Amino acid sequence: MPARTQAVLGALADSETALNRYASARTTLDERAAARDQRKTALELTQQRYRAGEDDLSSVLEAQSAFSNADEGRIAAAQDTLEDYAALIKALGGGWGGS
């Protein structure tokens, strides 16, 4: 197989890999954003129950911790998504040119 053909096939494989990674990262980001939203709702409900005297402070603290963990997970997924997007653009031959 000629070297040029191998280079093109390698570039296509790199592009496909980058596209699959980006798609997976987007799915993960969507899932983590939904989890964060659920934890936020749970925190708000727990805070309401605490103010009404129906829950104790430890429940609020647990809900805050769960929300914080979910938020950190969403942020990490967003970072991964951006990194995978940059890799995809690079694999497709894009770049950031200077003026």
pLDDT in tens, 54-85: 999 999 999 999 999 999 999 999 999 999 99
- Residue range 2-20, pLDDT digits in tens: 888 887 787 888 899 999 9
Residue 98 confidence class, pLDDT cut points 50, 70, 90: low
Contact 54, 92 (CB under 8 A): no
Q: How far is CA 37 from CA 22, 58, 96, in A?
A: 22, 21, 34
Tell which residue, 38, 30, 29, has the closest CA to residue 63. Answer: 38
Q: Is the pLDDT of residue 1 over 80?
A: no
Residue 9 in tokens: 């096939």
- Per the confidence metrics, is the pTM higher than 0.85? no
The answer to whether the CB of 76 falls within 8 A of the CB of 29 is: no
